[in-house]
Structure formats: structure tokens, C-alpha cells
Amino acid sequence: MIGTKGTVVAVNGNMVGVRFDGIVSMNEVGYVKVQDKRLKSEVIRIRGDLCFLQVFEMTKGIAVGDMVEFTGDMLSVEVGPGLLGQVFDGLQNPLPKLAEEAGYFLERGIYLDALPLDAEWEFTPVAKVGDTVERGDTLGTVPEGAFTHQIMVPFNMYGRYTVASIKPKGTYHVRDAIAELDDGKGNRIPVAMSFRWPVKRAVDCYAERLKPVDPMVTKVRLIDTFFPVARGGTYCIPGPFGAGKTVLQQITSRHADVDVVIIAACGERAGEVVETLKEFPELLDPKTGRSLMERTIIICNTSSMPVAAREASVYTAVTLAEYYRQMGLHVLLLADSTSRWAQAMREMSGRLEEIPGEEAFPAYLESVIAAFYERAGIVRLKDGRTGSVTIGGTVSPAGGNFEEPVTQATLKVVGAFHGLSRERSDARKYPAIHPLDSWSKYRGIIDSEKVAYAHKFMFRGSEVEQMMKVVGEEGTSLDDFIIYLKGNFLDSVYFQQNSFDAVDAAVSPERQKHVFAILLNILASQFKFKDKEDARSWFNRLRQKFLDYNGSEWKSERFVALEKEILDAVSERSAGLDKNAEKILA
């Protein structure tokens, strides 16, 4: 009910207790009046006529007796044409415009329109007068960059409607009424190109939810081959500070086989965000040859916003992702870092005096994280098209301890685990995904039996390496030493990529399959060596040839020549194939 008023009775950090007279709902937006400002907040607990709000601004100056106005609306985002290429804060304020209006030391209490109201869009009607439509159905289209943006019946219009009128083809603003819908009760409801949707309510206008099966190609060999991510699936990237989480996300966002990328910098408020904001407009999109920002949305917190805004960033991002999924597009949502979001929950839980769970995190930590990742998925729309939201979240466990609550809660719900290693990061191995700790439940681009056979050499090679640390190299048999060399060879030429090399930075699935077949043949071969030094010298020479091979253009003369040199070198030393591998290679 719009118009409910309240009075501040307590202030604890960015949490405010309010006594109200009327009706107030959970997650409703309220504005705390302090001096000449109205500070946006969200209801997070109701007890009788007392409610608690988390304020998305600094609460300095709020005092007992200050007035609060409740809006009757949930915390929502505005969706429509004009979202792509924008940089928002967690409350969907466009940050460049906010900086122009408030200066770079952002003032609190300033809230701007998310979409450019003065922009004109070329609307083409699809629906006709007399058509029956439901929420999520397409009324018309407008071009937005490389995409055809569908203007849909707002998701909050439940039931069936008849198109009473619709605008002809022409240019309109986002809030201009482009159609009128008859609800069958004599009411005509105007519909614009934009509408609002609550961030904590999943968009569910699709016909069917499907099981994620097809791989989402990232062009990172270690991921696509060994630890794949499914389109519409979920994965997490935990790792210590400085291990390359943000870099891996940026590489993925550039080369992943998706239509739209949404980056939720829900915890990184310093160097990483500055780097992203500077680099993304300058990066060329390999798919279109234009700026990568044209199909990207960045949502980040500013240093002037309290930790409560981290939660808003996460939900704003996933709601925008679901909106584009409803158009039949494939969306990649990257959240960096969910640990900061969990810390914000812990802070608010402490202020609410809730019973703490492990390490003082709230007892409902697992369910909240699960609810977020469950909003990923691939869906079939009513017209038969499919759209997807793939969610990848980074976790920053203190000291790289994967046993801490946030990492463990995330591992229970995701489909792939890309654990970054401080040891591999310090050794300049990129990506620093640990090949022994990481896993995936999804199907990759290469047969799983072949991948498992190759992966076995990493495990066995690691065992031999640990043994050599105890008994020395001289205490190891030649056969075991060759297994150790094969494991190192696999790591050097396939797991690692040169992100500074234009060719090796992104590897197509076709090339991955071709190179992996050659690599598998090398791993399965039984070699003739005089001694360990002979074996080491030969593998070192082969490794250098393979690295040159990785850096050569696909199917170029140099590529073909180097491949022949590699195959000849293997054939010269090979004494046949491992019997256990013959069936796999066949």
C-alpha cells in the first residue's frame, strides 16, 4: 500500500529500525529522510509494527525521529532497450551520468534513470490488433547494437490480454506507450518499451526448463577439455588473492560462446574494477570486430556505498541476465567476488542479532547462495527458441582455504569447480586452475574416456614427483620417470596457455580436438630411452616444438610443418602403444 509512513527508532551502522503505521512488505523499498536527502533502503525484517531496513547509502546524520516513506514497491530494476554497454552501480544508477551530476566523490541520495530517456528507438510492431498475448510475449522489436531487442509484455501482467492498439513502425522513447492491452474486464492497460521487475523474484515466463547439456566454449583448453562448463550451467572459481580470478573472468567474457556478458563486480571495488572499466571499451570483440562493451553490462559498487550494496549488485545482475534470456539469447553472468557478498550478509546478520553459523556467517548462507545459482539455466521459450543464463562466481577464501563456509556452500550447488592454486600462480602457470583439485559434472568437447586417460598422467606424474622429493631422482625407475615427464609435458603444452600470444590466447574447439588427438597418442606411446637424461632431453625438445606449434596459425604452412616434425620425432622413439590405450584411441 503506497503511502505508509514510519519513524526511525534505532540506527546500527547501515541498518535502521523503523516504527511504522500501515502495511509494509519484505524487500519493500523505503526512503529515509535525512536533512534534504532521501536515502534508499530495503526492508529485511518485520516484527509487528517494527521493521528493519538496510540502507544502501552511508547513514551518517540519521537520527531517531527521522521520517521514512515506504513506496509499496519491491527493490526492482528497469529493463528495456539501452541496457547494453552501460556501467551501473548496484541500484542500477548509470555511473558515468552519476559522476557528471554529482562529481567523482559521489553524493548520497542521488538516483538516476537507468535507461536513457532521450534516446529514440526504431520500433517495429510484431503483434497485431486482436492478438491474444501473455506476459513475456513479443509485441515488437527494436535494433540494439548487434541484437534485435524484443519488446515484451511486462512480466508482472499475469493472465491473457487482447491487443487493443499498437503503434506503427517509427521512432519512440523507452517510456512512450507503444501498445494498449485489454484485460477482458473493460480496462485498457498502456505498455511501454520498458518496465520494472523485482530483483529477488526469478523471471519465469518460459515454457520449459531444460537440463544443461551443451558445452559453453570458452577457448581455454583446460576448461573446455578437462573441466567444461555447460551452457546454462554454473561454476565457481575459488582461489587466493592474486591467483588470477579476475583475469580468467575477463578472458572468459571475451571469448566465451555467448551473446551477452554481464559482470557483477559485487565485491571488487578497487583496482580490478578500474582495470575492467578502462580495458573493456578498448577490447575488440572477436565475434563482431566491434567494442566488447557493446554486448556487455558492468555492475559494480563504488567506494562510497556500504556493504549492503553488494547484495543489490548480485540480484540486479542476475535479473538483467534473465531478461535477455527471455529474448532467446545466451547470457554469461560473472560475479566477482561472492565472498564479499557473503561477508555483507554476515555483517547484516550480526546487526539483526541472529544466531550465527560457522565462522559467524548466517545459518541460511547455503540456501541464499543456492537460490542465486539456481537462477541460472537453459530454458525453452513458448515459441520454441532457447535462451540461457550461465553463472560463474569467484570466491576469495582467506589464505586460499577451500574448507571455509562460502567455498563449501558454493561447491554444493555448482556444476564445475575451477580451483586456482597459489603454487601454480607463483610459477606463472596460466590459467592457474589446479588440474588435480578441480572437477566438472558437465560433458566437454572431447570424449570423457579419452580425457580421463590423459588426466591419469597428471595424477600419476604428481605421485612420482612426490616420491622423488623423498627418495630422489636416482631412487625412481625409468618407467616411473617417463610417466612423470609425460605429466609435465601435458601440463606445459596443453594445460597452460600464453595469453600474450594472439593465437594461443584463444583456441577453437576444432583445434583443441585436433591437438588433443596428437597429445593423446604421445601419452599412450611406449618410448625407448637409454636413461633418464636421454628421456628428459627428448621431452624438453618435444615440448619446445609443441609450444611453437601452439603459437602457429591454425592449418598454416608453419603449423603443418611443425606437426610433421612432432609426429616424426614421436614415431622415431615409439615402441608401440600402451595396450590399455588401444581401445580408447580407436
391 in the same domain as 273: yes
pLDDT confidence band for 287 (50 / 70 / 90): confident
Q: Output the pTM of the full model.
A: 0.94
Domain range for residue 142? Answer: 121-193
C-alpha span between 474 and 140 (Å, rounded): 74
Any idea what DSSP says for residue 105? S
pLDDT confidence band for 268 (50 / 70 / 90): low
Per the annotation, does 240 bind a ligand?
Answer: yes
C-alpha span between 553 and 547 (Å, rounded): 12
Residue 124's identity, in one-letter code, is T
pLDDT one-digit tens code per residue, 182-216: 998 889 999 999 999 999 999 999 999 999 999 99
C-alpha span between 307 and 14 (Å, rounded): 9
Number of domains in the chain: 4
Return all residues near 55 (Cβ < 8 A) that are at least 6 apart. Answer: 14, 15, 16, 32, 39, 40, 41, 62, 306, 308
Separation in Å, CA 166 to CA 121, 144, 162, 174, 312:
15, 21, 11, 15, 35
Q: Are strands 525-527 and 574-577 parallel, antiparallel or unpaired?
A: antiparallel
Per the annotation, does 195 bind a ligand?
Answer: no
Which string of b and e fits 319-356 if b means at least 16 CB within 10 Å?
A: bbbbbbbbbbbbbbbbbbbbbbbbbbbbbbbbbeeeee
Please check the confidence at residue 271 and state whether its pLDDT lies above 70. Answer: no
371 in the same domain as 279: yes
Report the pLDDT averaged over residues 118-124.
96
471 in the same domain as 413: no
Please check the confidence at residue 92 and state whether its pLDDT lies above 50. Answer: yes
Percent of the chain with pLDDT over 70: 98
Long-range contacts of 138-142 (CB under 8 A, 24+ apart): 139/163, 139/166, 139/178, 139/179, 139/191, 140/166, 140/167, 140/178, 140/179, 142/81, 142/193
- C-alpha dihedral (276, 370, 55, 100), degrees to nearest 10: 20
pLDDT confidence band for 1 (50 / 70 / 90): very low
The rounded mean pLDDT for the chain is 92
pLDDT confidence band for 317 (50 / 70 / 90): very high
466 in the same domain as 385: no
| pLDDT for the residue numbered 421 | 92
96 in the same domain as 51: no
314 in the same domain as 230: yes
Report the pLDDT averaged over residues 433-447.
95
37 in the same domain as 10: yes
389 in the same domain as 300: yes
Please check the confidence at residue 586 and state whether its pLDDT lies above 70. Answer: no
167 in the same domain as 43: no
Q: State the cell numbers at 397.
A: 577464501
Q: Side-chain half-sphere of 50: how many Cα atoms within 13 Å?
A: 8
Per the annotation, does 242 bind a ligand?
Answer: yes
Please check the confidence at residue 2 and state whether its pLDDT lies above 60. Answer: no
Per the annotation, does 246 bind a ligand?
Answer: yes
Report the pLDDT averaged over residues 210-225.
96
Please check the confidence at residue 63 and state whether its pLDDT lies above 80. Answer: yes
188 within a domain of the structure (yes/no): yes
C-alpha span between 360 and 406 (Å, rounded): 11
379 within a domain of the structure (yes/no): yes
pLDDT higher at 246 or 573: 573
Q: State the cell numbers at 151.
A: 519488446
244 within a domain of the structure (yes/no): yes
461 within a domain of the structure (yes/no): yes
pLDDT one-digit tens code per residue, 247-259: 888 889 889 999 9
Q: Which of 440, 458, 493 is the last residue of a domain?
A: 440
Long-range contacts of 31-34 (CB under 8 A, 24+ apart): 31/68, 31/69, 31/71, 32/8, 32/59, 32/62, 32/66, 32/67, 32/68, 33/66, 33/67, 33/68, 33/69, 34/61, 34/62, 34/63, 34/66
The answer to whether the CB of 178 falls within 8 A of the CB of 167 is yes
CATH code of residue 421:
3.40.50.300
578 in the same domain as 461: yes
C-alpha span between 317 and 333 (Å, rounded): 7
Q: Nearest CA to 251 among 297, 218, 222, 228? A: 218
Please check the confidence at residue 311 and state whether its pLDDT lies above 80. Answer: yes
pLDDT one-digit tens code per residue, 124-173: 999 999 999 999 999 999 999 889 999 999 999 999 999 999 999 999 99
| pLDDT for the residue numbered 431 | 92
C-alpha span between 4 and 22 (Å, rounded): 5
CATH code of residue 39:
2.40.10.170
| pLDDT for the residue numbered 243 | 87
Q: Which of 440, 473, 494 is the last residue of a domain?
A: 440
| pLDDT for the residue numbered 272 | 62
SS3 570: helix
198 within a domain of the structure (yes/no): no
Separation in Å, CA 475 to CA 465, 469, 471, 479:
12, 10, 5, 12
Helical ranges in 119-260 per DSSP H? 221, 245-255
SS3 38: strand
How many Å is the maximal CA-CA distance in the chain? Answer: 92
Helix (H) or strand (E) segment spanning residue 154: none
409 within a domain of the structure (yes/no): yes
CATH code of residue 483:
1.10.1140.10
91 within a domain of the structure (yes/no): yes
pLDDT one-digit tens code per residue, 339-394: 889 988 999 999 999 999 999 999 999 999 999 999 999 999 999 999 999 999 99
372 within a domain of the structure (yes/no): yes
Separation in Å, CA 14 to CA 39, 40, 66, 483:
11, 11, 15, 58
Q: Which of 440, 475, 504 is the last residue of a domain?
A: 440
CATH code of residue 146:
2.40.50.100
344 in the same domain as 367: yes
Per the annotation, does 245 bind a ligand?
Answer: yes
Per the annotation, does 186 bind a ligand?
Answer: no
